[in-house]
Amino acid sequence: MVKSDPDTIMEATAAAHFSGLHFDDEYPVPKYKGADKVPFVIGVAGGTASGKTTVCDMIIQQLHDHRVVLVNQDSFYRGLKPEEMANVGEYNFDHPDAFDTEQLLECLGSLKANQPVQIPVYDFKKHQRCNDRYRKVNASDVIIMEGILVFHDARVRELMNMKIFVDTDADVRLARRIKRDTLERGRDVNGVIEQYAKFVKPAFDDFILPTKKYADVILPRGGDNHVAIDLIVQHIRMKLGQHDLRKIYPNVFVIQSTFQIRGMHTLIRDQETTKHDFVFYADRLIRLIVEHGLGHLPFTEKQVITPTGSIYVGVDFCKQLCGVSIIRSGESMENALRACCKGIKIGKILIHREGDDGKQLIYEKLPINIADRHVLLMDPILGTGNSAVQAIELLIRKGVPESHIIFLNLISAPEGIHTVCKRFPLLKIVTSEIDAGLNDEFRVVPGMGEFGDRYFGTDDDGPDQMFKAPIEPKLQQSIHRP
């Protein structure tokens, strides 16, 4: 796997496979029962101004549906002592000793153990840490550690699941460095060139270049290498597990994530979110899921004449359609379906929970001729899959072909996806996020708690704002009087 000089990531990847090894064979696949995911740690090293930051930004952008944090080795510069400050031109910022590696190790270790950390803030103009400022970094799915010397210390390397060395031509790097340091870091051209010749280049040859051999991927041309960055992101996604599920079951569709959608998920998952906001953002997400689900229905071609007298060749919506909600949480999805499909018929199924394993079907009222319709089955949570299996079995008993069922979820647990998809391989599942798994109480984690209770307001005994009986002014006075 160690390759001294592959020209492309393709070579590095191929080398890893031919040798029967993978970049991070030790990376533990997340266990689902109550276990936290172990963050995936990526190290990005390379010479000064090689484009490390650009590569990291591109990876973060492409992994938009995961929580990713970037930690810069620069944050761990020790900062100069007064005597070093007096002679700053002689200070070697490119030597491993310029960094507080013990502190870096501690922070990375905590993040890997899913704990939040306070990262120091370094001021390049003053060559000092801002002692009163820290950046709080929370545990995430992916941690990217970037810096010229992040592969130098073996203990730091050991915490990494994937190591990328950004390999950019030295002339290009020097040109970029001159531009950046004069424009952004308040230095003059002569000073930059002097520092480069005296410290930066020798340190690159002595300390940085020798760490290239530890890289799993050597990335030529930095951020310009889109093909390589796509492959890196695919690999990370595969290691994070979700990719696999969609590969195993081609009928599972996760709506395209954006920061907007992640933002709404953040709100509905936050235990501090009020009922009003929970309903508002859950409704917005549900609407997107419903629209996406409708996109999987069959269509027929339809031509219309536009006001310009031209022909537009379009499609006609599927007519033989109905919704079925699983009571009670599934009912929260009915409005979105009605808003999209005027006058749609909606049936209901009630499944009663007896203990945690078995569920009992106790009520159903379905549209007539359901066997001739495509069915949008609605339930915001897919946990173990027990409720879904019972509802789907009922629909099939009523004559609905399995391939005519589209199951709409807000969040799904991998266990539920396995259960439903193995049993009903022709049905489609449309969801907005696949979570880590189930805990010991069969609740989805990280999840959003009990959806029905949060949506319908049955989860607290706080005052009922909307329906509080108005108190007459006179009575109010007497209440406040001691």
Ligand X SMILES: O=P(O)(O)OC[C@H]1O[C@H](OP(=O)(O)OP(=O)(O)O)[C@H](O)[C@@H]1O
- Name the site residues for ligand X (rule: CB under 6 A): 326, 328-329, 353, 379-388, 416, 442, 450-452
Please list every residue from 451 through 480 that binds ligand URA, using CB under 6 A. Answer: 451-452
User: Whose Cβ is closer to ligand URA: residue 11's or residue 453's?
Assistant: 453
Shortest gap between Cβ of 420 and ligand URA (angstroms)?
Answer: 14
Binding partner of residue 162 among ligand X, ligand GTP, ligand URA, none, CB cut-off 5 to 8 Å per kind: none
Closer residue to ligand GTP in complex, CB, 147/385: 147
Single residue of 57, 153, 450, 459 touching ligand URA by CB under 6 A: 450
Residue 381 contacts ligand URA per CB under 6 A: yes
Contacted by 77, from ligand X, ligand GTP, ligand URA, none: CB < 5 to 8 Å by type: ligand GTP
Judged by CB under 6 A, which of 117, 143, 200, 290 binds ligand GTP?
A: 200
The partner in contact with residue 444, picked from ligand URA, ligand X, ligand GTP, none with C-beta cut-offs of 5 to 8 angstroms by kind, is ligand URA
Quick one: which of 23, 40, 76, 93 contacts ligand GTP (CB under 6 A)?
Answer: 93
Is residue 174 involved in binding ligand GTP (CB under 6 A)? Answer: no
For residue 78, the minimal CB distance to ligand GTP (Å) is 10
Shortest Cβ distance from residue 436 to ligand URA (Å)?
12
Q: Which does 437 bind (CB under 5 to 8 A by kind): ligand GTP, ligand URA, ligand X, none?
A: none
Q: How far apart are CA 135 and CA 119, in angstroms?
A: 5
Q: Candidates 45-53, 131-139, 154-162, 445-453 — which segment interacts with ligand GTP by CB under 6 A?
A: 45-53
Answer with the entry of ligand X, ligand URA, ligand GTP, none that 326 interacts with (C-beta below 5 to 8 A by kind): ligand X
Check binding of 48 to ligand GTP (CB under 6 A): yes
Least distance (Å) from ligand URA to the CB of residue 384? 8
Selected from 76, 77, 99, 424, the binder of ligand GTP by CB under 6 A is 77
Number of residues that bind ligand URA (CB under 6 A): 8
Name the β-bridge partners of 242. none
Question: Which residues are within 8 A (CB) of 350 and not within 5 positions of it... i.e. 6 or more apart?
Answer: 326, 327, 328, 361, 362, 363, 364
Candidates 41-49, 232-240, 377-385, 435-443; binding stretch for ligand GTP (CB under 6 A): 41-49
Orientation of helix 226-240 relative to helix 52-62, angle to 10°: 50
Q: Determine the Cα–Cα distance for residues 262 and 264; give it in Å rounded to an integer.
A: 5
Residues 382-411 that bind ligand URA (CB under 6 A): 383
Tokens of 296: 């999987």
Output the CA–CA distances (angstroms, integers) from residue 465 to 450, 454, 468, in the order listed. Answer: 21, 15, 6
- Binding of ligand GTP by 182 (CB under 6 A): no
Question: CB-wise, 191 or 449, nearer to ligand URA?
Answer: 449
In the complex, the smallest distance separating the C-beta of residue 252 from ligand X, rounded to whole angstroms, is 15
Are the C-beta atoms of 22 and 28 separated by less than 8 Å? no
Q: How would you label 154-189 residue by residue, b for 16+ Cβ within 10 Å and e otherwise?
A: eebbebbbbbbbbbbeeeebbebbbeebeeeeebee
How many Å apart are CA 476 and CA 289, to the nearest integer? Answer: 47
From the list 166-174, 179-187, 399-407, 447-455, the region that binds ligand URA by CB under 6 A is 447-455
Helix 414-423 to helix 386-397 angle (10° resolution) is 20
Residue 11 in contact with ligand URA, rule: CB under 6 A? no
Contact call for residue 443 and ligand URA (CB under 6 A):
yes
Distance (Å, whole) CA 151 – CA 242:
29
The residues of the shown chain that bind ligand URA, judged by CB under 6 A, are 381, 383, 443-444, 447, 450-452
The residues of the shown chain that bind ligand GTP, judged by CB under 6 A, are 46, 48-53, 74, 77, 93-94, 124, 127, 148, 195, 200
